[in-house]
Amino acid sequence: MGFMSARSFRQIATSAGESYLNKRQTMRDKIEELSEKASKRGAELQEKYNTYYDEEKANINNFKTIATLAGEEYVPALNSFVGTDATKLKIFNNVSAENIRKELDKYKNVDTKTNFIEQSSENVSKKKEELDSTLLNEFKIPPATASFFTKGIAEKGMQEIRQSSTGNITEGEAINTNFTAGPGMGTDSFVSQKNFSENIDYYYNTLKTPRTNNAGLLVKNDDGSQVYDIAAGQEGTIARIDKQAKTIIENGFEGSLDEAIANVIEKGNNQSYDLSFLTTAVEGSPIDVELTGYFNQFKEKKSTSQMQSVIDELKERGLMNKANTLQTELDNFIKTINDEPQVETNIEPEVPAKVEPRPPKFGGGAEGKAKREAWESQYGNTHFDDGTLMSPAQQEAWKESQAKKGGGKSKKAIRRLVTEEGN
């Protein structure tokens, strides 16, 4: 048998090349198909996470509502009652605080280590990890699928799919697990629903009154909110209530603005009412976050006095732990600054060669006079009235002339008589 002809060899080579290219294109098509499926699946799992997150957040809020009705001393019993089964909370829907406490009395001696709020928050985080893992594991190319010629395409394609479509379940806003139930509904230190309604009515219909037009219709702001007129002599009262309501929200009060107003009024009516937010903020509160942010900004600017003022404000808000932590940071920061080598500079500020001409000698009233005085203060000894810069010799001659009793030569004379060289 003779050797293979050149033509036959070319035909075989061409066929092999086409097969190689076809295999690689087939793999690219497969990767594209998988990418579309991964994207669609990712959207489905994101929706699943969102639903789970909303349910858990609603359960936590329901737990907080029930605990607030019962009071702080019943929180351990409520944790024992519900365990990890949020559906149990439904039996307390539309149940009075008194009856809730009666039911929870049965669980006061039940030992449990379950914290429903923290456990639910942890479950939300685990759900994200679970769904990320699910998506990651669902989209893999079996090793047998990828040949020697397509392995590189497969590996690169799957990497891109994982980066763009997997492991990226968007997590919901962090759920606040810091919670204090308070004394409970029906006790002397709790704003009852009756007192809440009365306080809000007093604020909006006595201290203030809704504004109406000539047709008797309510007047609204551009954003649709009601316009109110403050009753005569009540401006100071309104200002105090508004300021204190803002303060307790800044300090960590989690209710609405109306709830804050109702609590402030209740404190005004009952000095034994415990409203600690008036004087003490909690860690993680809006004012804590805001002041800490200012501290870091002032640190970047090396403004130690302003850093200290932030620390003092934190102390006034009762945030002693944060204040002490930042005080230590400030003290160390000052030491670092003091240890830095000091570079002395005696660079004179650059005088511009040309400035705006001197304002007219007369006219312009008080404003014109102020402009003339400002110009003289800044440029009077360095520039001619047309705004051009005097030479050093001319500046010296002008100062000597001005020092003479009754004044000496004018600037025009100085310009005419004194050259750049001082002759």
Token pair for 141: 């190319």
Q: Give the residue carrying structure tokens 């919670």.
A: 179
Q: Do 31 and 142 reside in the same domain of the chain?
A: yes
Tell which wins on pLDDT, 420 or 283: 283
Q: 264 with 301, same domain?
A: no
Q: Are residues 74 and 211 located together in one domain of the fold? A: no
Q: Evaluate whether residue 373 is within a structural domain.
A: yes
Q: Which domain holds residue 63?
A: 6-165
Asked whether the predicted pLDDT for residue 368 surpasses 50, the reply is yes
More confident residue, 386 or 160: 386
The secondary structure of 370-411 as a DSSP string is HHHHHHHHHHTTTB-TTSBBPPHHHHHHHHHHHHSTT----H
Please answer whether residues 310 and 298 qualify as being in contact, where contact means their C-beta atoms are separated by less than 8 angstroms: yes
Tokens for 411, please give them: 């600037």
C-alpha span between 362 and 389 (Å, rounded) = 23
* Residues 81 and 197 grouped into a single domain: no
User: In the predicted model, is pLDDT for residue 112 greater than 70?
Assistant: yes
Smallest Cα–Cα separation from 108: which of 131, 75, 149, 142? 75
What pLDDT digit, counting tens, does each position of 185-234 carry?
654 445 666 677 788 889 988 998 888 888 878 888 888 888 889 999 99
Identity of the highest mean pLDDT range in 14-23, 66-75, 82-91: 82-91
Residue 183 lies in a domain: no
| pLDDT tier for residue 145 given thresholds of 50, 70 and 90 | very low
Asked if residue 76 lies in contact with residue 178, where contact means CB atoms within 8 angstroms, the answer is: no
The lowest-confidence range among 62-66, 159-163, 197-201, 361-365 is: 159-163
Here the tokens at position 228 are 């109110």
Angle, in degrees to the nearest 10, between helices 116-138 and 75-82 = 40
pLDDT in the model for residue 66: 83
Could you tell me if 127 and 247 lie in one domain?
A: no
One domain for residues 114 and 42: yes
Asked whether the whole model's pTM tops 0.85, one would answer no
Q: Which of 1-5, 77-81, 241-245, 390-394 has the lowest mean pLDDT?
A: 1-5
Residues 15 and 141 in one domain: yes
Q: Are 130 and 4 in contact (CB under 8 A)?
A: no
- Rounded to whole angstroms, the Cα distance separating 327 from 313 reads 12
